[in-house]
Amino acid sequence: MSDFKRIYLASPHMSGREQKYIKKAFDDNWIAPLGENVDEFEREIANYVGSKGALALSSGTAAIHLALILLNVGKDDIVFCSSLTFIASANPILYQGAIPVFIDSEPGTWNMSPTALKEALDTYAAKNKLPKALVVVNLYGQSADYNKIKDICDSYNVPIIEDAAESLGASYQGVKTGTFGKFGTFSFNGNKIITTSGGGMLVSDDTELIEKARFYSTQARDKAIHYQHSEIGYNYRLSNVLAGIGRGQLEVLDKRIHKKREIFEKYVEHLKRISCIQFMPEAQDCMSTRWLTVMTIDPELTDKKPYDLIHYLQQYNIETRPVWKPLHMQPLFIENDFFKHNEMDISQFLFNHGICLPSGTNMSEEDQGFVIDRIRAFFC
C-alpha cells in the first residue's frame, strides 16, 4: 500500500446539481428507461452542439453501431477508421461483419491524416471497393481537420461518422464538434469530461434517421398493441436516472472545459524548460477541451522513455497512461490495411513516445504541483 494519496488520470467530478434531476426521477417513479430526463437531456445536448436531433444511448459504442446500421454497413463492406484511438471506435464495424481499414494521424493535430485518407480512398476506388463510411476520431478533446476531410470524402461520396467521444464542447472554426459528419457520437463514460456513469449520444441533422435509430435502440418494436418485431433491435437506451446525472453535468460542462485547459496550461508553464518534452499541439482555428493533457518525450533528446516515467510516477501513486495503442498494431487487426501519413507512421510514434498526465477537474492545485515536481525530478 502506497503512503501517497492516489492521483487519478481522470475521475468523475460531480457538481451537486445532478441530485435534483435524480430526485425527480425517483419522485415520479420513472426509474426504468425513458422519461423526462432522457427527453430533456437529448434536447439539451442537441441545443448545445447545434444539431437538429439527438438520441440518448447506453454508450458511445452503441451510438457508433447504430450509425453504421443506418448507413447500411453490412458483411464484408469496407469502413475506414482512425487508427490512433480506443478500440470502441472500430469494434462496431466488426459487429456488422464489415472490414475496418485504418488511417494514420498527422503531426499537426494527432488526428486523421487527410494525406493518408486521400491515398486510401484512391487505392480503394481503384479496386472498386469504396468504403461505406468513415469513422473519424477527435483525439483527446481536439477536432480533426474537417474542411480537408470532408472535401476528400465528398469527392467520393463517403459519409462521415464523427467519433466525438473525447471532444464534447470542443470546436472547429467556431462550430462545435460532433456536427461535421452525417452522424456524431459522444460518450459519457466515467472518465469523460462529463459523465452519466456510462452512456452515450447519437446526434444528426437528419431527424428521420435519428427516429429510425430510436426504433432500433428500443428492440425494434413494431407499432402494435402486442409485442411484434420485424427487424433486429438492440437494448441501447439510456436510463432516466442516468440521464438525470447527465443533465446536472451538462450545466457545468463549460466550467469543466475551462478547468481542463487551465490544467494543461499549468503543465506547459512548469515543464517547458525540459527540452525533451513536447505537448499535444492545438490546431489552428480549433478549441480543444484538453480532455487529457498529453505529452511526448523526444527520443533524440533523452534516453528516458514514457514507460520509465509511468513506472516512476506509480511509486508516488500517480496514475498515468501511454497514448492509445494504434488499432493497426493490435493483434485483432494485424491483417487489416493501414495507410501511413507520407510514409511515416505518426500514430505509432505517438504511442511509442507519448504519455497522458493526470487531468481530472477535481484534482487540486497541490496535487497537480506534486505531479509536476515528480516529473521534474525524473528528468533531473
31 and 67 housed in the same domain? yes
Higher pLDDT, 33 or 8: 8
365 and 243 housed in the same domain? no
Q: How far apart are CA 23 and CA 89, in angstroms?
A: 34
54 φ, ψ (degrees, to nearest 5): -150, 150
Residue found by looking up cell 476531410 in the block: 149
Mean pLDDT of 202-207: 98
Output the pTM of the full model.
0.96
What is the average pLDDT value for the chain, to the nearest integer? 97
Q: Residue 90 falls within a domain, yes or no?
A: yes
Q: How far apart are CA 232 and CA 228, in angstroms?
A: 11
Q: Residue 188 falls within a domain, yes or no?
A: yes
67 and 178 housed in the same domain? yes
Of 189, 235, 239, 317, nearest to 41 (Cα)? 239
| CATH code of the domain covering residue 48 | 3.40.640.10
pLDDT at 359 over 90: yes
Q: By mean pLDDT, which of 38-42, 90-94, 254-258, 282-286 is the weakest?
A: 282-286
158 and 95 housed in the same domain? yes
Q: Residue 11 falls within a domain, yes or no?
A: no
Q: Residue 12 falls within a domain, yes or no?
A: no
* 31 band by pLDDT with thresholds 50, 70 and 90: confident
Cell triple for 40: 430533456
pLDDT at 256 over 90: yes
178 and 213 housed in the same domain? yes
**Structural domains in the chain (count):** 2
245 and 280 housed in the same domain? no
pLDDT at 1 over 70: no
Higher pLDDT, 283 or 6: 6
Q: Quick one: angle between helices 18-27 and 36-49, nearest 10?
A: 150
Q: Are residues 78 and 70 in contact, defined by beta-carbon separation less than 8 angstroms? A: no
229 and 262 housed in the same domain? no
Instruction: Please report the beta strands in the chain, taking only residues with DSSP state E, as ranges in sequence order.
Output: 53-57, 78-82, 99-103, 133-137, 160-163, 171-172, 175-176, 183-187, 200-204, 277-279, 286-287, 293-297, 321-322, 338-339, 354-357
Q: What pLDDT does residue 34 have?
A: 86
136 and 156 housed in the same domain? yes
* 284 band by pLDDT with thresholds 50, 70 and 90: confident
Q: What pLDDT does residue 19 have?
A: 97
- Residue finishing a domain among 198, 215, 250: 250
241 and 268 housed in the same domain? no
Mean pLDDT of 263-278: 97
Q: What pLDDT does residue 32 have?
A: 76
Q: What share of the chain is helix, strand, coil (3-state, %, to 5)?
A: 40, 20, 45
pLDDT at 3 over 90: no
Q: Residue 54 falls within a domain, yes or no?
A: yes
Q: What pLDDT does residue 313 have?
A: 98
Mean pLDDT of 3-12: 94
200 and 64 housed in the same domain? yes
Q: How far apart are CA 287 and CA 264, in angstroms?
A: 13
293 and 146 housed in the same domain? no
Q: How far apart are CA 196 and CA 347, in angstroms?
A: 30
* 2 band by pLDDT with thresholds 50, 70 and 90: low
Q: Render pLDDT for 52-70 as a digit per residue (tens, 0 to 9).
A: 999 999 999 999 999 999 9
Q: Residue 355 falls within a domain, yes or no?
A: yes
288 and 344 housed in the same domain? yes
* 355 band by pLDDT with thresholds 50, 70 and 90: very high
| CATH code of the domain covering residue 330 | 3.90.1150.10
Q: Which residue range(s) make up the domain with 286?
A: 253-379
Q: What pLDDT does residue 33 have?
A: 77
- Residue finishing a domain among 234, 250, 266: 250
Q: Residue 202 falls within a domain, yes or no?
A: yes
- Residue finishing a domain among 195, 228, 250: 250
Q: Residue 303 falls within a domain, yes or no?
A: yes
Tell me the longest C-alpha to C-alpha distance in the chain: 72
